[in-house]
Amino acid sequence: MVQDMSNPFFSAMDKGAKDAAQKIGATTNTQDAQLDLANQNNQIDAFIQQGVDLIVVSAVDEDGLQPAIERAKAAGIIVIAVDTPAKGADAVIMTDAVQAGEKSCDYLFQQMGGKGTFLIVDGTPIQTIRDRITGCRNTLKKFPNIKLVGQQASKNDRASGLAVTTDMLTATPTVQGIFGMNDPSALGAVLAVQQAHLVGKVKVTGVDGSPEAVSELQRSGSPFVGTATQNPAEMVRQAVKVAQDIVDGKPPAETTILIPSELVTRENVSQYKGW
């Protein structure tokens, strides 16, 4: 169960699900919530009716989905959350999102020469995004000559990333850096920088390590300089493995499993395996 299939991150999750299912002879059924909690509730109820064995869910709302998750578990279904926590799930497998925010912003601040002002393109209020912002703010404490002068929430996509960055650049056109909390919003910020004729003056970083981000890092002269990776397919593969361990009577010792984040820049993008 994915949040929004229009985001390539969740397409990569779907691919990971198909890979994992093929290895164990299982069938898959991927549902797109389109960022709507009511849709996700209905999808879980449909899965309960179908008698599935495992639900892997990237929750739109970690609290709001709990009643549906508990209904699924009462029906004997294992529920593993991926990418962001979901209350009631048997386990959660996610990127070390604080680390991702730290790595992305540390690189951004270094690229800014350790001084100046920057913006944050925030996102929907889910734990993984809050953690990335926390990571960025942790790093900011180590750079006393850098100041955050604007922060607005996108809807995690390129169009809203463009819109909120355009707003912020209108108010504060002299910034030197922008942190986008995911690659689509960061690439929207890149478009805003181009439209404001600030190429060469503003640097942008993101989080995901998406195929689009890789292409942008390879594009000469782009304001986009780095992204901290996530591995969406691996999250789902690990979710299936954890579920199998639960079936075998070996539940995980830690119910939160963090996948480390790596920094991809123009210098090392050619070595990055990608999604």
Whether residues 220 and 138 fall in one domain: yes
Whether residues 68 and 183 fall in one domain: no
Whether residues 166 and 106 fall in one domain: yes
Give every residue of the chain whose pLDDT is below 70, as ranges.
Answer: none
For residue 120, what are its two tokens? 């944050």
- pLDDT tens readout for residues 37-85: 999 999 999 999 999 999 999 999 999 999 999 999 999 999 999 999 9
For the chain, the straight-line distance linking the first and the last C-alpha, in angstroms and rounded, comes to 19
Q: What is the pLDDT of residue 207?
A: 98
User: Could you list the residue range(s) of the whole structural domain that residue 224 is in?
Assistant: 97-230+267-271
Whether residues 73 and 113 fall in one domain: no
- Provide the domain count of the chain: 2
Whether residues 217 and 254 fall in one domain: no
Q: What is the pTM of this model?
A: 0.87
What are the respective helix, strand and coil percentages of the chain, to the nearest 5?
45, 20, 35
Whether residues 158 and 238 fall in one domain: no
Whether residues 124 and 185 fall in one domain: yes
Q: What is the pLDDT of residue 66?
A: 98
Q: Is 2 among the domain residues?
A: no
Q: What is the pLDDT of residue 8?
A: 87
Q: What is the pLDDT of residue 126?
A: 87
Q: What is the pLDDT of residue 270?
A: 96
Whether residues 141 and 171 fall in one domain: yes
Paired residues of 178 in beta bridges? 119, 204
Whether residues 207 and 163 fall in one domain: yes
Long-range contacts (CB closer than 8 Å, 24 or more residues apart) made by 129-133: 129/84, 129/97, 129/156, 129/181, 129/182, 131/97, 131/98, 131/100, 131/101, 132/97, 132/98, 132/100, 132/101, 132/104, 132/181, 132/182, 132/207, 133/101, 133/181
Query: For the domain that residue 169 is a member of, what is the CATH number?
Result: 3.40.50.2300
